[in-house]
Structure 1
Amino acid sequence: MEFKDFQLKPFLLEAISKLNFKEPTDIQKQIIPIIRTGKSVIGQSQTGTGKSHSFLLPLIDAIDPSKNEVQVVITSPSRELAEQLYQTASQLVSNAPEEIRIVSYVGGTDKKRQMAKLTNNQPHIVIGTPGRILDLINEQALKIHTASKMVIDEADMTLDLGFLHDVDQIAGRLPEKLQMLVFSATIPEKLKGFLKKYVENPVVVQLKPEHIIAPAIDNLLLSTKGQAKIDVLYQVLTMGEPYLALIFANTKQNAEEIADGLRQRGIQPAVLHGDVPARERKRIMRRVHNLEYQFMVATDLAARGIDIEGVSHVINYELPKDMEFFVHRTGRTGRSNLKGTAITLYAPGEEKAIDELEKYGIVFKPVTIEKGQLVETYERKRREMRNAPSQLEPDHRIRGMVNKAKKQVKPGYKRKLKENIASQQKRKRRASKTRSHG
């Protein structure tokens, strides 16, 4: 299948060609035709699947540039994600024969200036954070009542960050006959009530990735073996030459402690967490994009709102509490068909947490540090084999028979013993197989 099969307007096909997109991704193949029918959609997919283009292409294709009114409203939970969507949409309309006005409204920008511009022209497509969009609606500057389509991008993150109430207020100002497009990595219980309220007979598209961890990612597991974790991290960061390494912590406090530990060792990382003020956050992101930082320490929620190109390494300094966070973290590298490396550090007492991740189908390659390099090791599995009771160990009854056999009692006893041991081993193997398939 090719993009031309969607019968999009020529300027959109030209924009896609400039992006060097060869063929649609799975989510684009499924969602673009559904959106074009006017049906509401709930799309569940992981990051990096081509989701943004799956809704931007059909929505832009349906815009009527001759109308001076809002036709589409798109909310995004963070400034960075909203800005990214705005840039993507702007690139798609760059060669449109008639101007399609797309405007980004996010917090931390000049509201008065935005209001002044809205007195003459309403945008065709509104992209922004829920708080700022709602502000402009309440000021009666932004008129969204004409829009027939609304997109809630990263809906689970919108809920996590406490913005669902604002989104509810925005949706409440839109016409009753509304095409609602909701995209989310997960559908938490609290989101279901909102969806029931606004999304009528949606088409639910669930795209489960073929691989939990993309094949382009080398997913390594490194035991700290009782060493200080910060020292192991320092070794990992200095043994190669990461283009950009993203180091994950579970809390703001831990992120600051890791950053301090690295500074004491001569590494200057960027730090991103919920307490970093908006202006400082923007400045940090600009410097990261300009490659002024080679390392960034971040918490999960802070990092969910950013998309940094060129992350060569992801380091799980701490194991996340949630498997989905692990997948999301790891998916920050190995994108756009580039190779990536994910390294999970774990202390000897964290074996159980690793086992849990493996139960979900996450496959690690155990490594150790030797002569300043990461080399593959089988140590972890060897230890497990050593600690596990032998599947074929004869039980106490057979042990008794062995002792008797040594005394060479009745003729044929050894043969009977061998048969008993063989039968016992067969039963245990069968039981073991049943357990592993169950």
Structure 2
Amino acid sequence: MSFEKLNLIEPILRALKNEGYTKPTPIQEQAIPLILERKDLLGCAQTGTGKTAAFAIPILQLLHQDELFVKGPAGIKALILTPTRELAIQIGESFAAYGKHLRISHTVIFGGVSQRSQTDALRSGVDILIATPGRLLDLMNQRFVKLQNLKMLVLDEADRMLDMGFIHDVKKVIARIPEKRQTIFFSATMPSEIATLANTILKNPARVQVTPVSSTANTIKQAVYFVEKKDKRKLLLHLLQDRTIITALVFARTKHGADRVAKDLVQSGIRAEAIHGNKSQGARQRALSNFKSQQTRVLVATDIAARGIDVDDLSHVINFELPNVPETYVHRIGRTGRAGANGISLSFCDEEEKEFLRDIHKLIQKTIPVVEDQPYHMTHVGMPRPQPQQRSRSSFKARNNSSARNSGQQWNSRDRRERDNQR
């Protein structure tokens, strides 16, 4: 199917052509017609499937065509809530690209930076607001943001907002916007608290799901290296001797760990930078820009900082440390193999991380192949390789509930300061 068959207006089709878009992804093919029919939408799709375009394109078209937009009162007509500043910036860039031939204005607000430029943009008047929850509430309380004329609400990456402790802020925002509106709700996973929130704010929603929850894309080749913890940095340097690895996104579990890995790589002559919540907004954007332009070969990231990273043709994701929440593994490796492209995911597993690997195997319903032909292979691995098991709906739901609780505890206890920075 082509974008022309989705009944999109000519200015948007022209912008999509300029961006090199030829045909919609499955989530776009399903979601765009439903949103254009002004239906509430509940979308469940893993990262990298094209969700941003799936809601940005129809929102731009509806606002362009809506008489309320042309003749109605001024003010914000569409609000997009998203968990991180990187993702907010990325969404803003998408609206700018798809709406370049339309007279529709937008701005992005997020915490961690001065609010001056953001409030100046709000005073000038905007039609679409992309925001992180904490900064939005702050500016609402200062009366810089008024949402009485809001017609459309998008909650993007709802499960990550739960993980980061933003869910209560989201509920406060929802309580202060008009009940009569169109609501679009996207989440990669559907733990119980997110499902409850969706049921509360959506009215007779259409549902779209393009892949099983928490599955990995078939285009991503996965492998695991058993390695002693002390040898992980040596193994990483060994792998990066392969010059076919043009760029690699490396995941560390902590901000301190990300800095340490990046420092070791730089000292070994590899162009590397770290990105995490303790970095200033300017430093984070510079690091991301350098990585996209391939001035930086390796970007070392924590999970929160990486959620907004969208890099074309990223060939490799390397899990320097395995996540202790298995769904996070799916999100991480989804940075590569996007939109049908091929990708490679390499994971390091030490003795303490074997339980994490077992959980990942159970979740993705497959066993990740082990690379034994490597100089730092851990002897006496002693880990059974479980066969994929079919889970019932009830057991799947119970696992999601457990993961959500564990994930929330993880982020709330370990990254509370980072969450505050996002505000």
Name the CA shift for 1:260/1:192 in 2 (closer, same or farther; >3 Å).
same
Q: Does 2:35 match 1:29?
A: no
For residues 142-291 of structure 1, what are the structure 2 equivalents within 5 Å?
A: 142-209=145-212, 212-224=215-227, 228-291=231-294
Letter in 1 for 2:41: V
Deviation at 1:26, TM superposition (A): 1.6
Return the alpha-carbon distance in structure 1 between the equivalents of residues 204 and 260 of structure 2. 48
Amino acid at match of 1:160: D
Is 1:81 aligned to residue 84 of structure 2?
Answer: no
Instruction: Specify the code of the residue in structure 1 equivalent to 2:20.
Output: N
1:271 CA drift (Å): 1.6
Deviation at 1:245, TM superposition (A): 1.2
Q: Hey, what's the Cα distance between the residues in 2 that align with 1:27 and 1:144? A: 28
- Aligned pairs for 1:286-301 (under 5 A) are 286-301=289-304
* The 10-residue stretch of structure 1 (143-152 or 296-305) with the greater mean CA deviation from structure 2: 296-305
For 1:94, the equivalent position in structure 2 comes to 100
Distance 1:363 1:299, change over 3 A: same
The 1:203/1:337 distance shift into structure 2, 3 A limit, reads closer
Equivalent residue for 2:110? Answer: 106
Say whether the 8 Å CA contact 1:44–1:206 is kept in structure 2: yes
| 1:361 alignment partner, one of 358, 361, 365 | 365
Deviates further, 215-224 or 77-86: 215-224
Rate the CA distance shift 1:248–1:28 in 2: closer, same or farther, 3 A.
same
Structure-2 separation of matches of 1:90 and 1:26: 23
Matches within 5 A, 1:365-404: 365-369=369-373
**Is 1:122–1:142's contact at 8 Å kept on the other side of the alignment?**
no
SS of 2:370 mapped into structure 1: strand
Partner SS state of residue 367, structure 1: coil
> Residue 70 in 1 paired to residue 70 in 2?
no
**Contact 1:75–1:127 under 8 Å retained in 2:** yes
For residue 127 of structure 1, the aligned residue among 107, 127, 130 is 130
Per-residue deviation, 1:284: 2.5
Residue 39 of structure 2 corresponds to 39
Q: Which amino acid aligns with 2:40?
A: S
Aligned to 1:327: 330
TM-score, normalised on structure 2?
0.79
Aligned pair partner of 1:115 in 116, 119, 128 = 119
Which residue does 2:402 correspond to in 1? none
Question: Matched residues in 2 for 1:146 and 1:296: separation?
Answer: 41
CA distance in 2, matches of 1:46, 1:336: 11
Q: Give the partner amino acid of 1:75.
A: L
* Match runs of 1:415-430 below 5 Å: none
Please give the residue correspondences for 1:342-357 in structure 2 after superposition, counting only pairs within 5 Å: 342-347=345-350, 353-357=356-360
Aligned to 1:315: 318
Query: C-alpha offsets along residues 115-169 of structure 1, whole Å, 9 cap, x if unaligned?
Result: 34544x4211111222333333333233221011100111111222222233223
Q: Matched residues, percent identical?
A: 33
Query: Could you tell me how far apart the structure 1 residues matched to 2:351 and 2:133 are?
Result: 44
Q: Distance in 1 between matches of 2:306 and 2:119?
A: 31
Offset at 1:243? 1.6
- Residues 230, 110 of structure 1: alpha-carbon distance in 2 compared, 3 angstrom cutoff: closer
**SS of the counterpart of 1:238?**
coil
Deviation at 1:294, TM superposition (A): 1.1
The gaps in structure 2 that reach 5 residues or longer are 392-423
Q: Which moved more, 1:183-192 or 1:218-227?
A: 218-227
For each residue in 1:195-223, what CA deviation from the matched residue of structure 2 results, as whole angstroms up to 9, or x when unmatched? 34322332332332599333332212223
- The 2-side partners of 1:218 and 1:437 are apart by 22
**Aligned letter for 2:191?**
P
Note closer, same or farther for the CA distance 1:380–1:313 as it changes in structure 2 (3 Å cut): farther
Could you tell me which residue of structure 1 aligns to residue 419 of structure 2? Answer: none
- The answer on whether the counterparts of 2:272 and 2:296 sit within 8 Å (CA) in structure 1 is yes
CA distance in 2, matches of 1:218, 1:108: 36
Structure 1, 354-363 or 288-297: larger mean CA deviation: 354-363
CA distance in 1, matches of 2:233, 2:120: 51
SS state at 1:270 partner: strand
Task: Report the alpha carbon displacement of residue 73 of structure 1 after superposing the two structures with TM.
Answer: 0.8
Residues of 1 paired with 2:390 and 2:155: CA distance?
Answer: 40
Displacement of 1:297 after TM fit?
Answer: 1.9
Q: Which amino acid aligns with 2:126?
A: P
Question: CA 1:167 to 1:37, structure 2 compared with 1: closer, same or farther past 3 Å?
Answer: same
Match of 1:346, as an amino acid?
C
Distance 1:339 1:234 in 2: 23
Contact 1:108–1:279 (8 Å) recurs in 2: no
